Amino acid sequence: MRFPAGRAAGKTGAAAAGALLSGPFTHPLSHGETALRIADIPFATTEWSAIEPTEHEGDTGMAYWRTRTFGDIRVRMVDYTPGYLANHWCSKGHILLCLEGELETELADGRWFTLTPGVSYQVADGAEPHRSRTRIGAKLFIVD
């Protein structure tokens, strides 16, 4: 049985976490698949608004990145201004979640995808070159 976040059959704190992690939903992968290994990162929180943004100019518009790096993992909160168009084709792999606004992503093969709040995409390193644009602006959470 799944319980609402933070609750497991009336348990709280560590007991709830233990109960939630010990049930049939402990690992989403099966059939010999392996999950991404995240190692040597102690528990911490990030107050994204406290991280100084860096500016990245597009062909049009700007991207403002707030970046944390954990070993080989880069995590970013990115704000695109209205009218932003990337100035390059990207071949880097990402897991990207749209938090606000709308992001249009073009693949090199001509396909287009539109992300709205709550929609994500994922792509592997070197898999499919892509570039993004936004007419109204967008805020994204990106892991790569």
Tens of pLDDT, residue by residue over 75-132, are: 999 999 999 999 999 999 999 999 999 999 999 999 999 999 999 999 999 999 999 9
Q: Kindly state whether residues 114 and 80 are assigned to the same domain.
A: yes
Burial label, 134 (beta-carbon count in 10 A; 0-12, 13-18, 19+): buried
Q: Kindly state whether residues 91 and 52 are assigned to the same domain.
A: yes
Distances in Å between the Cα of 98 and the Cα atoms of 21, 40, 77, 101 are 28, 27, 10, 7
pLDDT band at residue 24 under the 50/70/90 scheme: very low
Q: What is the pLDDT of residue 48?
A: 97
Residue 113 domain-assigned (yes or no)? yes
* Separation of alpha carbons 70 and 8, rounded Å: 30
Distances in Å between the Cα of 46 and the Cα atoms of 66, 89, 121, 124 are 11, 29, 23, 25
pLDDT digits (tens, 9 = 90+) for 37-81: 788 899 999 999 999 999 999 999 999 999 999 988 999 999 999
Q: Look up the domain containing 127 and give its range.
A: 48-143
